Amino acid sequence: MYPRTAAAFARANIAFIKYWGDLDPCWRVPANGSISMNLAGLSTRTRVTFDPLLGRDTLLLDGEPASAAALERVSAFLDRVRQLAGRQEFAAVESANNFPMGAGLASSAAAFAALSLAASAAAGLSLAEKDLSRLARAGSGSACRSVPGGFVEWQAGAGDEDSYAYSIAPAGHWDLVDCVAVISQEHKRVGSTEGHALAASSPIQAARVADAPRRLNMCRAAICERNFAAFAEVVEQDCNLMHAVMMTSSSRLIYWQPATLAVMAAVQSWRQAGLEVCYTIDAGPNVHVLCRSAGVETLRAGLGALPGVQMVLVAGPGGAAALEQDV
């Protein structure tokens, strides 16, 4: 029956142990495993309609026609879905974020997780969580972590078959909160796909990857035991290691700005003063400051008072990607 339509939503996620560099860039199989938390309230909603009357795929982002590059990436992704489902029809895709696009949050993770679910359902597939996570990974690596709920681990695997994410604890397990100190809303100059390709050119990357199992074990245990001190230590070390690789790759990537360093220093002094707080930073200048729910108001006020911090977004642990029933 046509047109076939489905809508789904998925949350952004923040990595505590980072993905940086690929074993297989074509399938986005990572050089190391990673651990993240889905972010409640920061989500993407996507509707996909397969329609035999369409002459090509179309893409609307927040109501506006997407760029040619974005459409090409989504179309290549839909080809995988068509191949899996044995279908040929083109699709109309509409996607909207409920968080500011320029806030430096990885919108591609929520976007490709929602697209995987909506497109596979609209194509008549009913994929298990593991296979949905594998599909999302092919669109944007970190998107595989926005498929399961709560606290999530992406096992690196050796290839497409065994590289996927699963939940290690539900959203209600721990009252961690991500307070994002937004320093710049500019679009990043070097995107993550290009960045992953540069990772192996850093002499530090091999050591970072070799040590990843230790950091993954520490982080997983800290989450399971709700041990903030151990969590803070490994999360900041992992973030600094990734940025050390970025800064020392053949085309050097320095994402930090003076205000980024000011937030990092403030976080350290607040922790020394007894607040349970630590930072992590993705491929941009904004700082994700992690705390427990009791510390949110103190932290929000402290971050907001620092020079260079434009706004603070607050998000606790979020659930899994889900289909919308009302379509």
Site for ligand PMV in 187-216 (CB under 6 A): 192-193
Minimum distance from residue 13 beta carbon to ligand PMV (Å): 7
140 binds ligand PMV (CB under 6 A): yes
Cα–Cα distance for residue pair 193/70, rounded to 1 Å: 13
**Going by C-beta distance under 8 Å and a sequence separation of 6 or more, which residues neighbour residue 251?**
190, 198, 201
Q: Are 238 and 16 in contact (CB under 8 A)?
A: yes
18 binds ligand PMV (CB under 6 A): yes
- Judged by CB under 6 A, the stretch of 1-9, 76-84, 138-146, 285-293 that binds ligand PMV is 138-146
Choice between 50 and 112, CB closer to ligand PMV: 112
Q: Are 52 and 2 in contact (CB under 8 A)?
A: yes
Choice between 122 and 198, CB closer to ligand PMV: 198
- Judged by CB under 6 A, the stretch of 3-11, 40-48, 82-90, 101-109 that binds ligand PMV is 101-109
167 binds ligand PMV (CB under 6 A): no
Q: Count residues binding ligand PMV (CB under 6 A).
A: 15
User: Which residues share a beta bridge with 165?
Assistant: 154
Tell which residue, 303, 195, 310, has the closest CA to residue 243.
195
148 binds ligand PMV (CB under 6 A): no
Residue from 32, 34, 46, 202 that binds ligand PMV (CB under 6 A)?
34
Choice between 108 and 116, CB closer to ligand PMV: 108
Amino acid in position 270: W
Choice between 92 and 176, CB closer to ligand PMV: 176
Residue from 108, 163, 184, 280 that binds ligand PMV (CB under 6 A)?
108
Amino acid in position 238: D
Residue from 4, 10, 19, 182 that binds ligand PMV (CB under 6 A)?
19
283 binds ligand PMV (CB under 6 A): yes
Residue from 58, 97, 142, 202 that binds ligand PMV (CB under 6 A)?
142
Q: Quick one: CA dihedral 317, 325, 100, 19, positive or negative?
A: positive
Counts for the chain of helices (H) and strands (E), in that order: 9, 14
Q: What is the dihedral of CA 229, 42, 12, 46, to 10 degrees?
A: 160
Length of the chain in terms of residues written: 327
246 binds ligand PMV (CB under 6 A): no
User: Which residues share a beta bridge with 8?
Assistant: 46, 323
Residue from 15, 156, 171, 315 that binds ligand PMV (CB under 6 A)?
15
Q: Give the tokens for residue 319.
A: 């659930």
- Judged by CB under 6 A, the stretch of 16-24, 42-50, 64-72, 217-225 that binds ligand PMV is 16-24
107 binds ligand PMV (CB under 6 A): no
Tell which residue, 327, 322, 326, has the closest CA to residue 117.
322
Whether residue 3 is preceded by a cis peptide bond, meaning omega within 30 degrees of 0, is yes
Burial string for 283-292 (b: 16+ CB within 10 Å, else e) reads bbbbbbbbbb
- Give me the residues that bind ligand PMV (CB under 6 A), please: 15, 18-20, 34, 106, 108-109, 140-142, 192-193, 282-283
